[in-house]
Amino acid sequence: MDLKSEIKKLAREKDAVILAHNYQIDDIQEIADFTGDSLGLSIEASKVKNRLIVFCGVHFMAETAYILSPNKKVLLPEKDAGCPMADMVTAEGLRKMKEKYPGVPVVCYVNSSAEVKAESDICCTSANAINIVKSIDSDRVIFVPDMNLGHYVSRFVDKEIILWEGFCPIHRRLTAKEVVGLKEQYHDAVFVCHPECSPDVVDMADHVCSTSGFYTYIKKSDRKRFIIGTEKGVLYRLKLENPDKEFILAYDTFQCKNMKKITLNSLYESLLKEQHQVTVPEEIRIKAYGSIQRMLEVPR
């Protein structure tokens, strides 16, 4: 039996569900029970009936799954798969910011630790950030940790957004100059980017959306060529669903090395040994759950 079939068999025997983020390697996306963006995966994690959740993504995503489903065993196949942006804000740092702006509500991007979520009023993802900020009854909001997503949201809301200076190194690497060059080279192409890109890159986009937003937007479009302003992993499903369309990755190495740590081997080992369990102390989990639950209650 090949490794993919072995994994599927073992997952059935162990009553495990495999959740995978859109940036995972093709082989993982192929065998996952559910693939999605952070919002889709959070919703899925909150509904899981299986005993085990094997989360193919980065640490904060597995943590979010545990926060939502604490009675499940949540595994992260590679224990060091983290998100550098999530590490740019700590609970202590956020507490200091809250002291500086007393009473100002805090929105935290889901790319953050459980401790930071516990210190926040409400969570958001790239798919719902505008709606979440609009839903807050205050004309000032603290937004952590992604300054680019926060800046993107500020274009759509009539509120002052106090930014934390965090960013995604992978998305920040794409420059406006490179996009200008690509647009000149592929003048008929549509440029789609993730809101984690810098504001001057976002300025040039025909469409800005979460990773799963790329699939819906591009499938509906009658255009044939697309410049992809996010991590390479989205190409797997884009090519599968749109065999007649052409995709140009905005830069060659648009890859998140943390997302790419998980392999078929590490997934198999994780399932077999039920290893790299992710948990959160209950006191923090309850507070973080409040932030995520409030996010899920905001109409989409």
* Site of interaction with ligand 13P (CB under 6 A): 22, 37-38, 111, 125-126, 168, 194, 196, 210-211
Q: Which is nearer to ligand SF4, 45 or 83 (CB)?
A: 83
CA dihedral 167, 116, 60, 300 (to 10 degrees): -80
Tell me how far apart the alpha carbons of residues 255 and 87 are, in angstroms, rounded to a whole number.
18
- What is the smallest separation between the CB atom of 125 and ligand SF4, expressed in angstroms? 11
- What is the smallest separation between the CB atom of 111 and ligand 13P, expressed in angstroms? 5
Q: Which is nearer to ligand 13P, 112 or 271 (CB)?
A: 112
Residue 211 contact among ligand 13P, ligand SF4, none, beta carbon within 5 to 8 Å by kind: ligand 13P
Residue 70 contact among ligand SF4, ligand 13P, none, beta carbon within 5 to 8 Å by kind: none
Contacting positions for ligand SF4 (CB under 6 A): 58, 83-85, 111, 168, 170, 196, 231, 256, 258-259
- What is the smallest separation between the CB atom of 91 and ligand SF4, expressed in angstroms? 18
Residue 84 contact among ligand SF4, ligand 13P, none, beta carbon within 5 to 8 Å by kind: ligand SF4
Residue 125 contact among ligand SF4, ligand 13P, none, beta carbon within 5 to 8 Å by kind: ligand 13P
Distance of CA 272 to the CA centre of its chain: 27
- What is the smallest separation between the CB atom of 76 and ligand SF4, expressed in angstroms? 13
Q: Which is nearer to ligand 13P, 210 or 271 (CB)?
A: 210
Strand 16-21 relative to strand 52-56, pairing: parallel
Q: How wide is the angle at C-alpha 208 spanned by C-alphas 207 and 213, nearest 5°?
A: 95
Q: Which is nearer to ligand SF4, 78 or 196 (CB)?
A: 196
Question: Token digits for 89?
Answer: 């804000």
- What is the smallest separation between the CB atom of 151 and ligand SF4, expressed in angstroms? 15
- What is the smallest separation between the CB atom of 117 and ligand 13P, expressed in angstroms? 15
State the DSSP string of 151-176: HHHHTT-SSEEEEP-B--HHHHT--H
State the DSSP string of 160-221: EEEEP-B--HHHHT--HHHHHHHHHHTTTPEEEE-TTS-HHHHTT-SEE--HHHHHHHHHH-
Q: Which is nearer to ligand 13P, 22 or 154 (CB)?
A: 22
Distance of CA 187 to the CA centre of its chain: 30
- What is the smallest separation between the CB atom of 147 and ligand 13P, expressed in angstroms? 14
Q: Which is nearer to ligand 13P, 211 or 291 (CB)?
A: 211
Sole residue written with tokens 């859109």: 22
CA dihedral 186, 189, 193, 197 (to 10 degrees): 30
Residues 230 and 254 sit within 8 Å (Cβ to Cβ) = yes
Tell me how far apart the alpha carbons of residues 98 and 256 are, in angstroms, rounded to a whole number.
31
Residue 258 contact among ligand SF4, ligand 13P, none, beta carbon within 5 to 8 Å by kind: ligand SF4
